[in-house]
Chain A
Amino acid sequence: MRILFSAFLLIFGVTLAAQSPTYHLGRTPTPDEIKAWDISISPDGHELPPGHGTAKEGRDLFIEKGCVQCHGRNGEGGKAPTLIVMKGMSTAAGRPMPGMDMGIQGPGLMAAWSPFATVMWDYINRGMPLGREGSLKPNEVYAITAFLLFRNDVIKSEDEVLDEKTLPALKMPNTSGYTEHVAEWKHATPRLANYP
């Protein structure tokens, strides 16, 4: 009985050890710190901050925030990559855009071609404007996102309000244009069966 009890203690003890820290280094961030650092946006949009904006507001912000200086007045024709990818995809496809990754097929890289509108919101929020990244307020990000989605014909009205609920629910043109990762595939195994 005593042996059995010891064995139980041992197993229980090992389980406990596996669940508690070993090295006790670092500190626990406060909920506010996590909130401030965590800019990840899942495709379901659950991390989106409260806020709202329309394409009409976004059109003004696009000028006010200096987006036009690199991307052109309507999101195209500037030194930086065009942001209007829904028009003329067939003619532009395959042509590398200035300054963009040449290993990737041109306009397909732009966030309007993403299967989720959250990707565009996330990128503008974390990566724009160049040199002042992270400076836009949530309402401004919603409005500029709405403007670019309007210019790409994803939303039909300049007055349509995008917020933390309506943005992730938008149906994007390329929703069926990608494949999810193969869940069964395991790293350190061959990439694709029967591939030479």
Chain B
Amino acid sequence: MKSKKPSRRKFLSAGAVVAGAAAGALKTGNAEAQEGAAAAPAARAAAPKKDIKELIAYGERSRFVTSLREPSEGRPSPDAFGLTFHVVTPLGESVGSITPSSLHYIAAHRGFYVPDIDPKEHRLMIHGMVDRPLILTMDEIKRFPSVTRVHFVECIGNRSTARRQTVAQTHGMTSCSEWTGVLLSTLLKECGVQKGASWFVSEGAEEVKGASSVPLDKGMEDCLVAWGQNGEPVRPQQGFPLRLIVPGFEGIYQTKYLRRIKVVDRYYMTYNDYGHLQKDPKVQALTSQLGPKSVITFPGGGHQLKGPGFYEISGLAWSGAGAVKRVDVSVDGGKTWKLAELRTPAHRMAHTRFALPWTWDGKEVDIMSRCTDDLGTVQPSRAQVAKYWGEPLTPQFNVKGADNTIQVWRIKADGSVINANFI
């Protein structure tokens, strides 16, 4: 027994993960055999890149879990200039309603370099049509009464197209986090908003200083100046150290690296605003606020079912207008609908996980989900939207404004799943 001690110590100091060792032990069925020469190569293969001390200090997921963000439609990120563009969340492997911060989708209007901001140096200035302009340090911002709320952030470009085949590509530009911060209304009241103010401009500290115009009544209602995300500070790619959350509005409003808020009396037509302008007032109305929307994340595009039998259909539903009230699922191409079960609390402007038990008979079938929010607004089909605009429903029909239409997945007899929206 004594003679074995050095070899065990050596084994551990090689940095083997306990899980890896356990898996090896299971294979041989003899833990003692792990300490022999035969086990050494396997142990080395299982060694993580980081020192075990680092893994204890800040954990990593198992090396067997491999879901990753990917550039939207394969556009390189970083690009030729080193800029990051739209990168999608791997929704096909998503669990529950919260997106891991490390897998939160990324979008950037012109592309951006993630700024390296020292929170000690960061300041937020509020000025414009206020009685008392204010400069706040991060420490001061954190001293205000805080709130913690679950909200999704979705890019207005998050839409299914014929070229997008997986659920990550069709719907991966939405993510959901638990955000912690101070209500913007708390800060604005502290400054004293002047009569006649109707908008505010929020601006980030990154190199392009991205700015958006937001209606002041939205700002006074539920906007959040967030410094926390999913139990830790907001991640750099999500706006560290400070991000504006405009619940339910398209992603471009959720200003990262928030450094300035200017209270004004008109729409300011910033560069971000201008890129989202519409000519038709009806199309304009279908931007800003998103949803109601839902998508089945399993089985979804790119998945492969292993033959007939029981599966739990699972997906995400959300609405920019409020909370998810119900989700219906069709497993017969939209002929009949079944009420799905909500598996997570239905927070306002937040992803809600739904599920429906289902036994597949092995025949080709189209499945889809439909969200109803607490205003009673029902997620439309592409056919309904085409009818509204008086246009023929062809694969080329383009949903105007933000696209919240129903996603149809086709499960083929061989168990493969494809995007059936454009067939």
Contacts and interface: CB of A to CB of B under 8 A. Distances in A.
Interface stretch (A51-59, A85-93, A187-195): A187-195
A18 B280 CA distance: 41
B267 interface: yes
Contact of B133 (A29, A180, A186): A29
Nearest to B269: A43
Given A119-B269, A191-B286, A79 B135 contact: no
Interface stretch (A123-131, A136-144, A153-161): A123-131
A79 B388 CA distance: 40
Nearest to A122: B271
A119 B271 contact: yes
A25 B260 contact: no
Contacts of A62: none
Given A22-B189, A28-B135, A29-B135, A101 B275 contact: yes
A187 B281 contact: no
Interface in A30-51: 33-34, 37-40, 42-43
B289 A195 contact: no
Interface in B204-220: 207-209, 211, 215, 217-218
15 contacts: A23-B143, A23-B144, A34-B125, A40-B264, A79-B81, A101-B109, A101-B110, A101-B157, A101-B275, A104-B275, A109-B275, A114-B277, A119-B274, A131-B207, A182-B285
Contacts of A122: 270-271
A187 B269 contact: no
Interface string B231-269: 000000000000000001100000000011010101111
Interface stretch (B31-39, B71-79, B87-95): B71-79
Interface stretch (B1-9, B51-59, B379-387): B379-387
A181 B267 contact: yes
Given A29-B133, A185-B285, A103 B221 contact: no
| Most central of B132, B140, B207, B267 by chain A CB within 10 Å | B207
Contacts of B191: 21
A187 B218 contact: yes
B131 A19 contact: yes
A19 B264 contact: no
Interface in B95-129: 109-111, 125, 127
Contacts of A147: none
A127 to B, nearest CB: 4
A57 to B, nearest CB: 23
Nearest to B207: A133
B281 A42 contact: no
A133 B133 contact: no
Given A182-B284, A187-B215, A38 B274 contact: no
A127 B271 contact: yes
A103 B399 CA distance: 12
A2 interface: no
A40 B207 CA distance: 15
Interface residues of B, number: 80
A127 B79 CA distance: 18
Nearest to A100: B110
A99 B286 contact: no
Given A19-B192, A29-B133, A182-B284, 13 more contacts: A25-B143, A26-B137, A27-B134, A103-B157, A103-B159, A104-B275, A111-B271, A114-B274, A123-B271, A179-B284, A187-B221, A189-B321, A196-B385
A83 to B, nearest CB: 13
Contact of A196 (B80, B266, B387): B387
Nearest to B264: A42
A79 B80 contact: yes
B285 A191 contact: yes
Nearest to B143: A25
Interface residues of A, number: 60
Contact of B140 (A26, A43, A133): A26
Contacts of B380: 195-196
Nearest to B285: A192
Nearest to B384: A196
B155 interface: yes
B178 interface: no
Contacts of A192: 282, 285-286
A189 B292 CA distance: 11
Given A25-B140, A38-B260, A43 B268 contact: yes
Contacts of B264: 40, 42
A156 B284 CA distance: 33
B267 A103 contact: no
Interface string A160-196: 0000000000000000011111100111111110111
Contacts of B280: 179
Nearest to A178: B277
B371 to A, nearest CB: 13
B127 A34 contact: yes
Interface string A69-106: 01000000001100000000000000000011111100
Given A27-B134, A179-B281, A196-B388, A133 B208 contact: yes
Contacts of B267: 180-181
Contacts of B190: 21-23, 25-26
Nearest to A124: B271
Contacts of B384: 196
| Most central of A127, A133, A180, A195 by chain B CB within 10 Å | A195
